[in-house]
Amino acid sequence: MLRLLFALVFASFTLQAADPAEIKIWPEGAPGQMTPPSPATQEFLRTKAGKTTITNIHEPTITVFQPAKPNGTSVIVAPGGGYVFLSAVHEGTQVCEWLTTIGVTGILLKYRTPTRDDAAPHEKPAADAAQAIKLVRQKAADWHLDPQRVGLLGFSAGGNLLAHLACDRGEPVERPNFGVMIYGGGFVDFKEPTKLKQGFSVPADAPPMFLACAHNDGQNSTASAVLYLEYKKHNIPCELHLFTQGGHGFGMRAENKPINAWPQRCADWMKSMGWLLP
């Protein structure tokens, strides 16, 4: 009986120890003030948010999902949600869990929302992502990670966040070593979507990028193509996948469409770039 009790206690402890750890990225509090949500933002929340979405995030965090055998690569996952909420499951936890199956440490980023009413809605989320990257590199030794193999994977608004973090001129320690953008956009001119919007450009030292989007996803497919061409101008490694069908917001959902194979295509790309090596 004593041995059985010990075994149960040990098993319980092991399960608790295996739970992902959530960590505040700004221990002293995130910089700046949050803008109160406008009626339009409140309506967006009322009509678009679901049971698995989260919002009103004033204290950004990361949650670390570690594989049984880490290969040293980590990927910070930034869900979408229009800078109003986060689609935290099919664009968040499920993505991190998939990453662990290929030996990658998945790190879910809960960035500040809503910021839709800010003059530059991406600024606070991008600052949170930059801080998360810095923190991951600081903790690299403790988490068995390579500080030079830190990626950022963003969906929709998270993809916009990635575009700004990868292409705006921030400090190198705050930029990812590579990016994965799934149906991201918002960085092309609204009236002339085949051109980048004013003030946004791709630098010659932008990190390598993987892009996936559906043709029937508004301007996001055009944005992906434009970003790829800008990368091509600088001869920066970039892989683009455009699928006829898929729409927006598919994330990790299994809908038996070609676009739902994007995780495998992404894993193939990561392997070809040397990020899945032990």
The reply to whether 197 falls in a domain is yes
Judge whether 278 lies within some domain.
no
Q: Is residue 1 part of a domain?
A: no
CATH code: domain of residue 100: 3.40.50.1820
pLDDT at 11 over 70: no
Q: How many domains does the chain have?
A: 1
End-to-end CA distance of the chain: 42
In a domain, 125, yes or no: yes
7 inside domain:
no
Segment 130-144 shows an average pLDDT of 96
Any bridge partners for residue 62, and if so which? Answer: 23, 109
264 in any annotated domain: yes
Q: Report the 10 Å Cβ neighbour count for 30.
A: 19
Instruction: Give Cα 66 distance to the centre of its chain.
Output: 16
Instruction: Look at residue 11 and tell me if it is in a domain.
Output: no
| Closest CA relative to residue 176, chosen from 189, 159, 188 | 159
pTM for this predicted structure: 0.92
Q: For 14-23, 80-89, 147-156, 261-270, which range has the lowest pLDDT when averaged over its residues?
A: 14-23
Range of the domain at 158: 20-272
6 in any annotated domain: no
| pLDDT of 2 strictly over 50 | no
Q: pLDDT (tens digit, 9 = 90+) per residue, 231-250?
A: 999 999 999 999 999 999 99
